[in-house]
Amino acid sequence: MLIVFFYTGCSNSKVSTAWQNTQRASYVAVTDPVTWGSALGAVALYATYDDDITEHYMENNLFDSEIDERLRKINNLTMYVTALTVSNDTNVKRGQRLATNFAGAAVARRTTTTLNKIIKKDIPSGDDNYAIGSHHALDPFAKSALTRRNVSDMTAPLWLKYSINSLSYISASGSAFSRIQEGGHSFADQLVSVSIGNFVGLFFYELFLVDGSNLQSIHTSLVDHKLLVSTTWTF
């Protein structure tokens, strides 16, 4: 089933307000340590030992890459479970949070596919040229960023919050690393995807779930085996 998410802006506020919110969301996402730290790490590796490190782990696997599918399921489930269990959310807010999580994940996946088509960099195994943009790194880390924000809004003991975040990020990291072992992406390639994925996840949270942004309605319809989800927001 192909899922298409459409945003339709509907607001009594000025366009400048929406632009200010977009700038703020972008700033928060860019300045997050996972975003800039991963980007800097990628640059450092590209300039030094990326090929050597990648080749080492292709020849010396740390774990069986067949568990990747399970790791991605855990990562996905963690995001949606946390979106549903923020106790202070009203029903409208919970719907808004679920829609935002869904949209962020969908845009992350589309971003990955687009990068694969635009940036033609050979993968380490030499079998193809889609090294930049990984569904095993960009997508899971966007979901982990959204999970982290969901968890921050939960009323729960710190040990539980740390445990949930650890589970989310370990599953995302394991998925990303499995593709390094398989020769699908280099270590630095995956850090690029981590940085972009983290940005996408945080951007969606900050734009649609912070400071008065408001989901007005959600409509779904099934057309030609495609699930269309249409939303109306004020921001």
Helix axes 187-209, 15-31, angle to 10 degrees: 140
The predicted pLDDT at position 19 comes to 80
Nearest to 201 by CA among 212, 213, 193: 193
> Shortest CA distance to 195 belongs to which of 28, 34, 29, 41?
34
Q: What pTM does this model have? A: 0.85
Is the CA virtual torsion 51, 132, 143, 210 positive or negative? positive
Cα separation, 189 vs 180, in Å, equals 9
- If you write DSSP's letter for every residue of 15-72 in order, what string do you get? HHHHHHHHHHHHHHHHHSHHHHHHHHHHHHHHTTTHHHHHHHHHHS-SS-GGGHHHHH
> What is the reported pLDDT for 4?
42
Q: Which residues of the chain have pLDDT under 50?
A: 1-14
* Per-residue model confidence (pLDDT) at position 65: 87
pLDDT in tens, 154-179: 999 999 999 999 999 999 999 999 99
